[in-house]
Structure 1
Amino acid sequence: MLRLSGITKTYPTPQGPLRVLDSVDLELAAGESLALMGESGSGKSTLLHLAAGLDLPDSGSVELDGQRLSALSEPARASLRRHRLGLVFQQFHLVPSLSVRDNLTLQARLAGRDDRAWTDHLLARLGLDGLDDRYPEQLSGGQQQRLAIGRALAPRPQLLLADEPTGNLDEAVADQVLALLQTLIDESGCALLVVTHSTRVAAPMGRRLRLARGRLLEPGR
Structure 2
Amino acid sequence: MLLTLSNVSKSYRTAEGPIAVLRGIDLSVDAAQSVALTGESGSGKSTLLHLAGGLDRADTGSIIVNGEDITALDEAGRAGYRRKTVGLVFQQFNLIPSLSVADNIAFHAKLADRYDADWARELTDTLGLSTLLNRYPEQLSGGQQQRVAIARTLAARPALVLADEPTGNLDETTSEVVLDLMISLSRSAGSALLLVTHSSRMASKLDRQVVLRGGKIVA
TM-score of the two chains, using structure 1 as the length reference: 0.96
Q: Which residue of 2 aligns with 1:191?
A: 192
Query: What residue ranges of structure 1 are gaps of 5+ in the alignment?
Result: none
Does residue 1:11 correspond to 2:40, yes or no? no
Letter in 1 for 2:91: Q
Match of residue 208 from structure 2: 207
State the distance in 2 between where 1:81 and 1:133 align.
27
Letter of the 1:64 counterpart: V
Q: What CA distance in whole angstroms lies between the structure 1 residues aligned with 2:16 and 2:74?
A: 33
- Give how far 1:19 is off: 0.5
SS of match in other structure, 2:37? strand
Deviation, 1:133, is 0.6
Secondary structure (helix, strand or coil) at the match of 2:88 reads strand
* Equivalent residue, structure 1, for 2:142: 141
Q: Deviations over 1:21-76 (max 9, x none)?
A: 00111111111110000112211110001001111111111111111112222111
Q: Quick one: which amino acid aligns to residue 69 of structure 1?
A: I
Q: Which residue of 1 aligns with 2:91?
A: 90
What are the superposed Cα offsets for residues 100-119 of structure 1, whole Å, 9 maximum, x if unpaired?
A: 00000000010011111111
Count of equivalent residues: 218
After the TM superposition, list the runs of 4 or more consecutive aligned residues in structure 1 that deviate by more than 2 angstroms: 13-16
Task: Give 3-state SS (helix, strand or coil) of 2:46's partner.
Answer: helix
Question: Matched residues in 1 for 2:111 and 2:161: separation?
Answer: 17
Q: Distance in 1 between matches of 2:192 and 2:203?
A: 15
* SS of structure 1 residue aligned to 2:49: helix
Question: In the alignment, what sits opposite 1:63?
Answer: 64
Instruction: State the Cα distance separating 1:14 from its structure 2 match.
Output: 3.2
* Structure 2: gaps (5+ residues): none
Quote the offset at 1:130 in angstroms.
1.6
Deviation at 1:13, TM superposition (A): 2.4
Shift in Å, 1:15: 3.0
Asked if 1:100 is matched to 2:91, the reply is no
Q: Give me the whole-angstrom Cα distance separating, in 2, the residues matched to 1:65 and 1:75.
A: 18
SS at 2:130 equivalent: coil
Question: Could you say what secondary structure the match of 1:130 adopts?
Answer: helix
Q: In 1, Cα distance between the equivalents of 2:64 and 2:208?
A: 20
| Correspondence for 2:36 | 35
- The corresponding residue for 1:153 is 154
Q: Which residue is 1:171 aligned to?
A: 172
**Aligned residue type for 1:156:** R
C-alpha distance in 2 between matches for 1:58 and 1:29: 24
* 2:123 aligned with 1:122: yes
Q: CA deviation at 1:193?
A: 0.2
Is contact 2:24-2:216 (8 Å) kept? yes
Residue aligned with 2:128, SS: coil
**TM-score, length basis structure 2:** 0.97
Task: Output the CA distance in 1 between the equivalents of 2:77 and 2:16.
Answer: 36
Following TM superposition, by how much is the alpha carbon of 1:144 offset from its aligned partner in structure 2, in angstroms? 0.4
Superposed CA deviations along residues 156-192 of structure 1, whole A, max 9, x for unmatched, are 1111100001000010110110111111112112110
Q: Higher mean Cα deviation, 101-110 or 12-21?
A: 12-21
Identity %: 55
For the residues of structure 2 that align with 1:26 and 1:101, how far apart are their CA atoms?
Answer: 36
Deviates more, 1:10-19 or 1:197-206: 10-19
How far apart, in 2, do the equivalents of 1:23 and 1:187 lie? 32
CA distance in 1, matches of 2:98, 2:76: 26
Q: Distance in 2 between matches of 1:215 and 1:113?
A: 36
Q: Structure 1: how far apart are the matches of 2:20 and 2:50?
A: 16
